[in-house]
Amino acid sequence: MLVPSVSLCYIEEKERRVLFMEQITVSGDSNRITGEYFEQIAIELRQLDCVPPDTSMELFGKHFETPVMMSPLSHLKPLESGVPGMTAMAMGAVLSGSVMWAGMGDEAELEDILSTGAETIKIIKPYADRDLLYRRMSHAKDSGALAVGVDIDHAFGDCLGYPMKPLSFGELAELTRAAGLPFVVKGVLSIQDAEKCVQAGAAGIVVSHHHGIIRSAVPPLFLLPSIKKAVGRELKIFVDCGIDNGLNAFKALALGADAISLGRAVMPVLNESGPEGLSRYVKSVTDELKQAMYRTASPDLNHIDPSVVHILN
């Protein structure tokens, strides 16, 4: 099987600036393991005394209709209408009252995204060129991003010709101090890193294996309860990887996530039906989540009892 190295990069050739389905199919076994783990998690029903649930959330001082967010993607192809892919994604986020996240794109792309009015969390690569990292971070702040962060898991090899380098704890602490915005660390997949993020002053973490940045990655939901126990009172916990429906979103929220993100699942939707279709999709995922909350007597996102989910086997 073709498996990318740790320098997993979405775009090796410019011509592949399409839906990236080729790369998605070569992510080793981590996505399969994660998918199978989701299937092991079952939901019980608590239908007496249940009330219509509220799926809205407050994040970094803003109000959102749903905890179903966009994952930070990058280099999506433009829609047929000519609207750049990431801008269209941001428009979909605005229409659905959802948080937008932006990945590796450049400063002009982020400005386009923000011009849609989308509340956006900008995730910057751990560029070996730390000056570039800091420039991107202050640009995000000056442009009005909601929060900023780094995907610490994309720290090896290079991406699109940009060499990457792992962050030290000291560098992370310095970045969070300098950010001037809530700082989010994406690609946390251990209690150790989660605790270091708290000590470094991060406002949030994304528990994620980056759709298979390494083979045999532990499913984010496997670690989530222990990460929640260790750091859940100190920072926001977000989760992605393999979430494409409201029941999987519910499982993640029940096991300790404050919000979840949809990554690869949004790409075909966006491509086929644009921002409006994306908004309908996010709303349908949110509706399915709401049904699960209703049937488990979970009145709002802060009151989902973890004991409503069971790990079989």
User: How many residues interact with ligand FMN (rule CB under 6 A)?
Assistant: 23
Token digits of residue 150? 């780094």
- Assess 164 for contact with ligand FMN (CB under 6 A): no
How far apart are CB 188 and ligand FMN at their closest, in Å? 11
CA–CA gap between residue 255 and residue 208 (Å, rounded): 14
How far apart are CB 19 and ligand FMN at their closest, in Å? 8
Residues 6 or more apart in contact with residue 161 via CB below 8 angstroms = none
Q: Which one of residues 71, 96, 98, 286 is an interface residue with ligand FMN (CB under 6 A)?
A: 71
How far apart are CB 305 and ligand FMN at their closest, in Å? 26
192-221 residues in contact with ligand FMN (CB under 6 A) are: 208, 210-211
What is the 8-class DSSP label of residue 210? T
232-261 residues in contact with ligand FMN (CB under 6 A) are: 240-243
Q: Can you tell me whether residue 245 is helix, strand or coil? A: coil
Q: Which one of residues 4, 8, 10, 251 is an interface residue with ligand FMN (CB under 6 A)?
A: 10
Q: Which one of residues 4, 53, 85, 103 is an interface residue with ligand FMN (CB under 6 A)?
A: 103
What is the residue type of 75? H
| Catalytic residue, candidates 75, 210, 211, 310 | 210
How far apart are CB 38 and ligand FMN at their closest, in Å? 11
State the binding string over 256-285 for ligand FMN (x if CB under 6 A, else -): ------xxxx--------------------
**CB atoms inside a 10 Å sphere around CB 271:** 18
Our answer to whether residue 75 is catalytic in this structure is: no
Q: Which one of residues 4, 20, 200, 207 is an interface residue with ligand FMN (CB under 6 A)?
A: 20
Q: What does DSSP say about strands 183-188 and 57-59: parallel, antiparallel, or unpaired? A: unpaired
Q: Which residue is nearest to ligand FMN (CB)?
A: 103
**In contact, 75 and 189? CB cutoff 8 Å:** no
297: left (phi over 0), alpha (psi -120 to 50) or beta: left
State the binding string over 129-158 for ligand FMN (x if CB under 6 A, else -): ----------------------x-------
Query: Where are the extended beta strands (E) located within 214-285?
Result: 236-239, 259-262
Q: Contacts from 275-278 at CB under 8 Å and sequence distance 24+?
A: 275/83, 275/88, 275/89, 275/91, 275/92, 275/94, 275/95, 276/92, 276/95, 277/92, 278/88, 278/89, 278/91, 278/92, 278/93, 278/95, 278/96
Residues at the site binding ligand FMN, with contacts judged by CB under 6 A: 10, 20, 24, 71-74, 103-104, 123, 151, 186, 208, 210-211, 240-243, 262-265
| Residue positions annotated with a catalytic role | 210
